[in-house]
Every structure is written in C-alpha cells, then in structure tokens.
C-alpha cells in the first residue's frame, strides 16, 4: 500500500480551530524571516538585503537561460520590494539636521 492510500472510513475531520489559518501562517512566515519585530529604522536596510538576494537569483536565472516564469516572478518581486522600500523611506523619520543643533 502506498503512503497516500487511505483505508475506507479512516478519513479524519479537522476543525478550523485545529489548523493554522492563513493569517496565522502569514505571521509565522514573517516572524521566521525576522520581519515582525524589526525596528522601523532597520526596515529599509532589511528590504535592501532581500533585494540583493533577489537580484543575485535573477542574475542566475538569466545566466542559465531558465524558464521565463521564474524570471518574471523574480523581476516582479524586485519591483514590489523597490516600491515597498520607497514607501518606507518616504515615511521614515528624518534625522536631526546638525546645523540646527
């Protein structure tokens, strides 16, 4: 018998409270990535770190002439990260001007 075969009548019902909701899963992924409890002044730098990784992966995909879907996905992700970075930087508190001190 293969591991995905089921015995008749052996179906198990899982209630919604027993399974991880999409929101809980999203928070877990963000937490695992270290993005939940990050200080606001560090957020733009973390985005830049991720962008560097995506750029490296995109270069690999272009060098090896892989399928277009993954290249498009990486390029789309890079654009999304850049947009997010710009929004974070636009809303970041400005450091005090040394001439005003």
pLDDT tens-digit map of 41-67 = 788 888 899 999 999 998 988 888 777
* Rounded Cα gap, residues 16 and 14, in angstroms: 7
DSSP 71-101: HHHHHHHHHHHHHHHHHHHHHSPPPPPGGG-
pLDDT at 30: 73
The structure's pTM equals 0.56
pLDDT mean across residues, the chain = 76
Average pLDDT over residues 66-89: 88
């Amino acid at each position: 018998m293969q591991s995905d075969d089921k015995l008749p009548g052996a179906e198990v019902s899982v209630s919604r409270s027993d399974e991880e909701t999409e929101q809980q899963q999203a928070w877990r992924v963000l937490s695992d990535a270290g993005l939940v409890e990050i200080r606001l002044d560090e957020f733009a730098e973390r985005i830049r770190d991720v962008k560097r990784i995506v750029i490296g992966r995109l270069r690999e995909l272009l060098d090896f002439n892989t399928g277009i879907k993954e290249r498009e996905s990486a390029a789309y992700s890079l654009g999304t990260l850049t947009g997010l970075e710009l929004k974070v930087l636009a809303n970041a508190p400005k450091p005090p001007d040394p001439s005003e001190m």
